[in-house]
């Protein structure tokens, strides 16, 4: 009798352990701190990178999403606060998104553009140095059809700037709570906030309409949409998502209207929420799914 009980217990334990392994969600790998040296900016730039669960033992190459952080955050923001590895693991495991590499560069407070005075050339670094370096270092399918970009707030702005300026590079773009600012809003920003946030980008000591200079218009999301042809704008698929209580809702609605008036297909979402990590965590899977759909053969 005791032998029978022992055998039954052993069998139950084996089945239990087997089932636990069977239902365990595969986990991807994250390297939190890596660097790329920039000759353009004469310094090292940090980045964080997520690899899908099968990266280490497969022989395949993967599509890539560049995921940009917001103002005052750094390359670890999407990992630390956005838990991007957990959401990507789950979405890959249940087939919501294809296996992909997610790259999160440190953009400091650059808004991912070149500054008016040439002291900060982040845009040149990203396009000419960062992307080529990343796609040579890792097993990435370095083609437009397998490349997406996404980001939140300042990173949402960077997402739009890069996809609008370089449509030949990205299949899809997913800005979340993007910092889309109208001319009217820029003019009305109080001097302190302008000097802290925007003066290093567009020009110091500017007030009122003087802020609407060439650097501003070269990097205004709404102006770029206005001046580009519908055919040009249609080269990238857009997923635009902003909370109904977000202070950036107006700018995102203006972007939606501008694209609609030009007949440019895009997805526009206004969900319940504000400018918070809770909002972005609950939206990133849908954004990645939208981008991932672009990687599939139609």
pLDDT digits (tens, 9 = 90+) for 189-232: 999 999 999 999 999 999 999 999 999 999 999 999 999 999 99
Residue 18 lies in a domain: no
pLDDT at 198: 97
pLDDT at 25 over 90: no
Residue 99 lies in a domain: yes
153 and 88: one domain? yes
CATH label of the domain that carries residue 230: 3.40.50.1820
Residue 108 lies in a domain: yes
244 and 213: one domain? no
Residue 14 lies in a domain: no
pTM: 0.92
- pLDDT, mean of residues 263-292: 98
Residue 12 lies in a domain: no
pLDDT at 138: 98
pLDDT at 18: 46
pLDDT digits (tens, 9 = 90+) for 67-115: 999 999 999 999 999 999 999 999 999 999 999 999 999 999 999 999 9
73 and 165: one domain? yes
238 and 251: one domain? yes
Domain count, the chain: 2
Query: 205 is in which domain, residue-wise?
Result: 187-219
pLDDT digits (tens, 9 = 90+) for 233-252: 999 999 999 999 999 999 99
pLDDT digits (tens, 9 = 90+) for 165-195: 999 999 999 999 999 999 999 999 999 999 9
70 and 213: one domain? no
61 and 167: one domain? yes
pLDDT digits (tens, 9 = 90+) for 107-163: 999 999 999 999 999 999 999 999 999 999 999 999 999 999 999 999 999 999 999
Residue 19 lies in a domain: no
35 and 118: one domain? yes
Residue 6 lies in a domain: no
Residue 161 lies in a domain: yes
131 and 270: one domain? yes
pLDDT at 255: 98
128 and 171: one domain? yes
154 and 225: one domain? yes
Secondary structure of the chain in HEC code, one letter for each residue: CHHHHHHHHHHHHHHHHHHHHHHCCCCCEEEEEEEEEECCCCEEEEEEEEECCCCCCCCCCECEEEEECCCCCCCCHHHHCCCHHHHHHHHHHCCCCCCCEEEEECCCCCCCCECCCCCCEHHHHHHHHHHHHHHHHCCECCCHHHEEEEEECHHHHHHHHHHHHCCCCCCEEEEECCCCCCHHHHHHCCHHHHHHHHHHHHCCCCCHHHHCCHHHHHCCHHHHHHHCCHHHHCCCEEEEECCCCCCCHHHHHHHHHHHHHCCCCCEEECCCCCCCHHHHHCCHHHHHHHHHHHCCCC
Could you give the percent of the chain with pLDDT greater than 70?
A: 92
pLDDT at 12 over 60: no
């Amino acid at each position: 009798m005791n032998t029978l009980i022992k055998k039954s217990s052993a069998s139950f334990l084996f089945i239990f352990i087997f089932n636990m392994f069977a239902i365990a969600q595969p986990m991807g790998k994250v390297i939190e701190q890596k660097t790329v040296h920039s000759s353009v900016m004469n310094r090292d730039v940090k980045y964080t990178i997520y690899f899908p669960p099968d990266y280490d033992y497969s022989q395949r190459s993967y599509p890539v999403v560049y995921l940009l952080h917001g103002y005052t955050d750094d390359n670890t923001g999407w990992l630390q606060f956005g838990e991007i590895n957990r959401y990507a693991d789950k979405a890959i495991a249940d087939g919501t998104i294809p296996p992909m590499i997610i790259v999160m560069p440190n953009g400091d407070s650059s808004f991912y553009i070149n500054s008016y005075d040439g002291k900060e050339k982040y845009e040149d670094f990203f396009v000419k140095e960062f992307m080529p370096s990343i796609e040579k270092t890792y097993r990435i399918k370095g083609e437009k059809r397998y490349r997406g970009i996404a980001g939140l707030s300042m990173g949402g702005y960077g997402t739009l700037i890069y996809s609008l300026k370089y449509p030949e590079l990205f299949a899809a773009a997913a800005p979340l709570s993007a910092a889309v600012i109208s001319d009217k809003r820029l003019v009305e920003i109080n001097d302190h906030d302008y000097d802290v946030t925007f003066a290093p980008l567009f020009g110091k000591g500017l007030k009122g309409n003087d802020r609407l200079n060439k650097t501003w218009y070269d990097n205004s999301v709404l102006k770029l949409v206005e001046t580009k042809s519908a055919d040009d704008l249609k080269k990238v698929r857009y997923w635009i998502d902003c909370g109904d209580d977000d202070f950036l809702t107006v700018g995102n609605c203006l972007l939606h209207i501008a694209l609609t008036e030009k007949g440019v297909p895009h997805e526009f979402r206004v969900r319940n929420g504000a400018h918070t990590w809770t909002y972005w965590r609950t939206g990133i899977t849908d954004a990645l799914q939208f981008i991932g759909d672009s990687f599939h053969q139609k």
